[in-house]
Amino acid sequence: MNIENIEAFVYVFHYGSFNKASEVLFLSQPSVTARIQSLERELDCRLFDRLGKQVQLTEKGRQFLPYAQQLLQIYRKGKQHIQRQRTEPNELRIGCTVSVSNYIIPELLPKLKRQYPGLQIKLTTAVTDDIVQKVLNRELDIGFVRNISHPNLQSVKYYEDPIRLYAYAGHPLAGYAEVSAEELVGEPFVFFECGSLDWLRIHRMFQSLNTPPAIEIHTDNSESAKKLVLHKAGICFLPGLSVRKEVKEGLLHPIEVAEVSGVALQTNIITLNGEQSEIVKFLLANKFV
């Protein structure tokens, strides 16, 4: 039994007209008529009665209709499944920065797996420059990196993480929602820096003060910086994602500093130009919140 004949039968019933069905199927009316006649010969019965320009199902046609609709639906689902397998890889190679690996990936990947159950994911953690190079070399399919621009890459904003000053519970500044840079003079600091240009604003703020803050510990790891603050080694500017749990539990307190208000770390998704897959579209439609 020819699936095209089944399709013609269902479309003629749906539109009540051979002419309208032929328009929707991009066929000539004689072609649709030929398909219906072929199906009637296979079933050895008449399926439609003509009433002028309109048609209606015969009793045999009404009996056959639900089976025809089910056959057509099963065929379409099977076709979609095959086409989806062709366009979706079995393996997805993702590169990401340390902060993305720590704070975004654990929430994002389970959503991705629910959407694409058969997908195997390989995760690589590296700095932005290395990830960019690996995507360009086709060693990675997708990269989560700092805000970058490259002529051979599509770079789309995925998440913006505000940077604020954080103090431990019981610190004299913990009760303040906002302070000025001058009020930070003399405070012991843990200084976390990830290499982003946004940190230059914090550097410039420090340099503008007559008496610079006492930066007692430098670190390039946000988790280390956070734990040092929790152990009262000082106060620190940190990305919001890294301290969500501690802020919720009242262990750390965010403080706005007017001179650097609006500073944030932007995370982008990068792919090679022209290769934005359905998976990337899904990620962008389910941005991290």
Domain limits, CATH 3.40.190.290, in the chain: 160-265
174: left (phi over 0), alpha (psi -120 to 50) or beta: alpha
**Mind listing the pLDDT tens digit for each residue in 148-168?**
888 888 888 899 889 899 999
* Mean pLDDT calculated for residue range 226-246: 93
Q: Where along the chain do the CATH 3.40.190.10 domains lie?
A: 91-158+267-285
- CATH topology (fold) of 91-158+267-285: D-Maltodextrin-Binding Protein; domain 2 (3.40.190)
Cα three-residue angle 208-214-216, rounded to 5 degrees: 135
pTM: 0.62
Instruction: List Cβ neighbours of 207 (8 Å cut-off, separation of 6 or more).
Output: none
What residues does CATH 1.10.10.10 cover in the chain?
Answer: 3-86
Tokens of 167: 């103090």
User: What kind of fold does domain 3-86 have according to CATH?
Assistant: Arc Repressor Mutant, subunit A (1.10.10)
pLDDT digits (tens, 9 = 90+) for 35-91: 999 999 999 999 998 877 778 999 998 999 999 989 888 887 777 666 555 555 578
Residue 231 has pLDDT above 90, yes or no: yes
Average pLDDT over residues 215-234: 91
Please name every residue paired with 265 in a beta bridge, in sequence order, or none if there are none. Answer: 161
User: What's the CATH code, domain 160-265?
Assistant: 3.40.190.290
Rounded CA-CA distance 140/159 in Å is 20
Which of the residue ranges 20-24, 136-140, 192-196, 218-222 has the most confident prediction, judged by mean pLDDT? 136-140
Is 276 a residue whose pLDDT tops 80? Answer: no
